[in-house]
Amino acid sequence: MAAFVLPFEKPVVELVTRVRELKKAAIESGPGSDRALEHELKRLEEKTGRLARELFATLTPWQKVQLSRHPNRPYTLDYIETMMTDFVELHGDRRFGDDPAIIGGLARFRGKSVVVVGHQKGRSTKEKVTRNFGQAHPEGNRKACRLYEIADRFGLPVITFVDTQGAYPGIGAEERGQSEAIGACIAAMARARVPIIATIIGEGGSGGALALGVANRVHVQEYGTYSVISPEGCASILWKDNSKADEAAASMKMTAPDLLRLNVVDKIIEEPAGGAHQDVAVASALVEAGIASALRDLETLNGEELAADRYTRFRKLGAFVA
Amino acid sequence: MDWPKKNPSELDASEKKSFGKGVFRKCDGCSATLPVEALHASFEVCPECGQHHKLSAPRWRDLLLDDGRFEEWDAHLAPADPLNFSDGKSYRDRIASAQKSSHTKEAMVIGRGAIEGHAVAYGAFVFSFMGGSMGSVVGEKITRLFERASSERIPVILLQASGGARMQEGILSLMQMAKTVSALERFRATKIPFFSVLLHPTTGGVAASFALLGDVNIAEPNALIGFAGPRVIEQTIRQKLPEGFQRSEFLLTHGMIDRIVSRLDMRRELAMMMSHLSPKLERVSGPQA
C-alpha cells in the first residue's frame, strides 16, 4: 500500500523506516553474522520507540483524530487475517441486501470458534467507494444484528472491531430505517447471552459505532477515538463553522485517555511506535492479547450473568446531580 | 444531533406569534386566522386543516392523562458538566438559561398517571429544553422509567421529541443510547407493552435508540422523524430532498411506524391498544365507556 504520511508524523515515520531498513539489512546478512550490529540494532529500536512515544505524547486531540483515520491504518480484515483462522464470511441481512461497509462471519480465535463483526473501510479508491468508507446502511447494521443472534443461539463469543465515521446519512438509509436498525443492534447486543468484546481500532463515530459497541469489555487502541458526533459535525452545529473541528475534537474529550477517564472504555491497547500502521503484526498481537485476556475474565460467567454484566457496565455511565 | 438554535420557551404555540393583542393566530398549515382560545381548546390542532402545532408538556398531560393527574418521579435529577464543555458559551450557562426559560430541570419528565383507567408509566421530552437533547439526565430518567414500570408492572408511554444526543456531554450522551435500550430490553422481557409516541421532531440518537423500538410506534401527522437531520443528508448527498421526506407519512409508507394518529384521538387509541395488549394489568378505576 502506498505510504501516506501526515505532516506531524514525518519525523517518527523517518525514524521507524530507518530502523526497519537496518533490520532488513541485518537479517539479509545472515543470522549471527554480526553480534555487534544486532546489539546496536536492538538499542536503536528501543531508542526509536522511546523517541516516537515522546513525539506522539504531544499530539493534539485533532491530530489523534487524523491518526485514527490514517489511510494506512490496519482495518478489520487485517486484524481478522493476523489473529484468527478459518474465517468464513457470512453475507446479507435477509431483508434487503448485503452491505460491504460491515463484514462479519465465523472464525477461530486462539483455537475457539467466535462470531466476528467489524466495520470495513477500503484501501483503493474503488474499494473505498464499494465499502462506502465504512459507513453502514441499515442492511449492514441488520447483518450485524443477525450475526449477534447467531452467536447467541450457538453460544459463541462475539468479537467486534469498530471503525466508522458513523452510519450513513442518505435517502436510501432513511427509507430503509437506519434509526431502527441501529436501535435493534443495540438491543440485540444487550440481550445476547454470550461474551462480547469490542475494540475501537480507528474512528468510533456516533450511533454507527455503538451498533457494534455494546460489549462486556470495550477496548480502544492508543490512537483510536470515540465520539457522539464527528468533530466536523460538532463544529458545524455548535460553531457554525466546520473548520473549527480541531476545537471541537478537544472539547468533546474523544481520545483514548479521556475515554478511559470517563469509564466509556475499559482498557487502552498500546500501539507500536508511530501507530498501528507502522507495524501491523505488532499492533494485531497487542489487540489480540487484549481480547484474549478479556475473554478469560468472563470465562466463569454464565449467559444470564454475561447479560447482567453488560447491563451493569452501561447502567452506571453518565454524570448528573442527584 | 442537530437542533434548532432558537430556544422557544415552554409555551403552547397559541401563546406566541400571536397578533391582535394575543386574540388571533395564524395557522402554520393553512394560514387561516384563528382565535387563540379556539386553538387552545383544540390542543393546538387547527380546526380548519388539522395542522398540529407545538403543544407544551403540561398540556400533553392534560390531553392524555385521566384528569391530567400525574405523580412525577425523580424530578430532582439535574444535569452536571462532565466535560467542562464550552462552545463560546459554557454548558453550565446553557443549562441555566434552558432551566429558566423552560421552567424545568431537564429535557425529560417521567412519572405515573392513568389513561382511561389504565395505570401507565409516562415520560415526555421537553423539546424547549435544549431541543429535547439526550444527555445523562434524560438517559437516566428513561432508564428509571423502564425499570420502575417493570417493577410496578404497568405499560410505558413515552412521548418523543428530540434533536438527538446532547453534544455538550460528548460520548456520555452516546452511552445513554446503550443504557436506555438495555433497560428497554429488560422491560420487554416482562411482556408489558411499550408505546412510542413520535412527535415533531424525533431524530438522531433518540430515533436511533428506543424511539423506533416501541411494541407499537405511533406518530403525529407530519412529524419529522429520522436518523440524520435533513440538512446533514443534503450536505452529504448534495441533492435537495424530496417533499415529505422523513415525515410521518413517509415512515408509514416505508413500514417504520404502525399508525399516524391525530393528537385528538391519541388518548382513545392508546387506551384501546392497552385493552388488547395488557387488559389484566392494574386499573386505577373501572373501565370507562
CATH number for the domain that contains residue A184: 3.90.226.10
Pick from B78, B172, B250: CB nearest A262: B172
pLDDT at res. A48: 84
Query: Does residue B28 share a domain with residue B63?
Result: no
Q: Is the pLDDT of residue B13 over 80?
A: no
Query: Does residue A172 share a domain with residue A33?
Result: no
Q: Is the pLDDT of residue A33 over 80?
A: no
Whether residue A13 lies within 8 A of chain B, CB to CB, comes out as: no
- Nearest-angstrom CA–CA distance, B6 and A233: 19
Across the interface, whether the CB atoms of B175 and A264 are under 8 A apart is answered: yes
* Ranges A254-268, B6-20, B248-262: which has the least confidence: B6-20
Query: Does residue A214 share a domain with residue A127?
Result: yes
pLDDT at res. B151: 97
B-chain residues near A264 (CB < 8 A) = 171-172, 175
A12 lies in which domain range? 7-58
Q: List all residues of chain A from 146 to 205 with a beta carbon under 8 Å from chain B.
A: 167-171, 173-180, 182-184, 186-187, 190-191
Burial class (CB in 10 A: 0-12, 13-18, 19+), A200: buried
Query: Does residue B243 share a domain with residue B191?
Result: yes
pTM: 0.94
Q: Which amino acid is residue B238, in one-letter code?
A: R
Query: Does residue A307 share a domain with residue A246?
Result: yes
Helix (H, G, I), strand (E, B) or coil at B112: strand
Query: Does residue A116 share a domain with residue A74?
Result: yes
Between residues A11 and A68, which one has the greater pLDDT? A68
Whether residue A253 lies within 8 A of chain B, CB to CB, comes out as: yes
Q: Is the pLDDT of residue B3 over 70?
A: no
Across the interface, whether the CB atoms of B255 and A177 are under 8 A apart is answered: yes
Query: Does residue B29 share a domain with residue B48?
Result: yes
Residue A125, min C-alpha distance to chain B (Å):
18
Count of domains forming chain B: 2
Q: Which amino acid is residue A237, in one-letter code?
A: I
Count of domains forming chain A: 2
Query: Does residue B217 share a domain with residue B193?
Result: yes
A219, A244 contact by CB (below 8 A): no
- Asked if residue A219 belongs to a domain, the reply is yes
Q: Is the pLDDT of residue B4 over 80?
A: no
Across the interface, whether the CB atoms of A210 and B178 are under 8 A apart is answered: yes
Query: Does residue B240 share a domain with residue B182?
Result: yes
Binned at pLDDT 50, 70 and 90, residue B287 comes out as very low
Nearest CA in chain B to A263: B172
- Nearest-angstrom CA–CA distance, B211 and B213: 6
- Asked if residue B197 belongs to a domain, the reply is yes
Query: Does residue A219 share a domain with residue A107?
Result: yes
- Asked if residue A321 belongs to a domain, the reply is no
Binned at pLDDT 50, 70 and 90, residue B14 comes out as low
Query: Does residue A257 share a domain with residue A155?
Result: yes
Whether residue A242 lies within 8 A of chain B, CB to CB, comes out as: no
Query: Does residue B153 share a domain with residue B42?
Result: no
Nearest CA in chain B to A238: B87
A157, A197 contact by CB (below 8 A): yes
Query: Does residue A71 share a domain with residue A36?
Result: no
Query: Does residue A172 share a domain with residue A37?
Result: no
Query: Does residue B162 share a domain with residue B233?
Result: yes
pLDDT at res. A293: 98
pLDDT in tens, A257-313: 999 999 999 999 999 999 999 999 999 999 999 999 999 999 999 999 999 999 999
Binned at pLDDT 50, 70 and 90, residue B288 comes out as very low
Across the interface, whether the CB atoms of A315 and B182 are under 8 A apart is answered: yes
- Asked if residue B232 belongs to a domain, the reply is yes
Q: Is the pLDDT of residue A17 over 60?
A: yes
Query: Does residue B164 share a domain with residue B232?
Result: yes
Query: Does residue B79 share a domain with residue B16?
Result: no
A-chain residues near B252 (CB < 8 A) = none
B-chain residues near A164 (CB < 8 A) = none
Nearest CA in chain A to B250: A175
- Asked if residue A54 belongs to a domain, the reply is yes
* Nearest one of A150, A271, A247, A248 to A199, comparing CA atoms: A271
B27 lies in which domain range? 12-53
A-chain residues near B140 (CB < 8 A) = 318, 320
Average pLDDT, whole number, for chain B? 92
Query: Does residue A194 share a domain with residue A116?
Result: yes
Pick from B140, B179, B233: CB nearest A170: B233
Across the interface, whether the CB atoms of B227 and A169 are under 8 A apart is answered: yes
Nearest CA in chain B to A313: B179
Query: Does residue B72 share a domain with residue B36?
Result: no
- Nearest-angstrom CA–CA distance, A92 and A103: 10
Query: Does residue A80 share a domain with residue A12?
Result: no
Whether residue A314 lies within 8 A of chain B, CB to CB, comes out as: yes
pLDDT at res. B7: 44
Nearest CA in chain B to A262: B172
Binned at pLDDT 50, 70 and 90, residue B16 comes out as low
- Asked if residue A2 belongs to a domain, the reply is no
Nearest CA in chain B to A171: B233
Residue B7, phi then psi, degrees to nearest 5 = -115, 80
- Asked if residue B67 belongs to a domain, the reply is yes
Query: Does residue B92 share a domain with residue B30?
Result: no
Residue B114, min C-alpha distance to chain A (Å):
27
Residue A301, min C-alpha distance to chain B (Å):
19
Q: Is the pLDDT of residue B222 over 80?
A: yes
Helix (H, G, I), strand (E, B) or coil at A274: coil
- Nearest-angstrom CA–CA distance, B122 and B119: 9
- Asked if residue B64 belongs to a domain, the reply is yes
B-chain residues near A209 (CB < 8 A) = 174
Query: Does residue A50 share a domain with residue A165?
Result: no
Looking up residue B110, the CATH number of its domain turns out to be 3.90.226.10
pLDDT in tens, A54-105: 889 999 999 999 999 999 999 999 999 999 999 999 999 999 999 999 999 9
Query: Does residue A218 share a domain with residue A183?
Result: yes
Q: Is the pLDDT of residue B10 over 70?
A: no
Q: Of A139, A179, A210, A315, which to mutate for an interface test with B (greatest number of B Cβ within 10 Å)?
A: A179
- Asked if residue A320 belongs to a domain, the reply is no
- Asked if residue B7 belongs to a domain, the reply is no
Residue B187, min C-alpha distance to chain A (Å):
11
Between residues B10 and A318, which one has the greater pLDDT? A318
pLDDT at res. B11: 57
Query: Does residue B170 share a domain with residue B159?
Result: yes
Q: Is the pLDDT of residue B289 over 80?
A: no
The ipTM estimated for the assembled molecules is 0.95
- Asked if residue B4 belongs to a domain, the reply is no
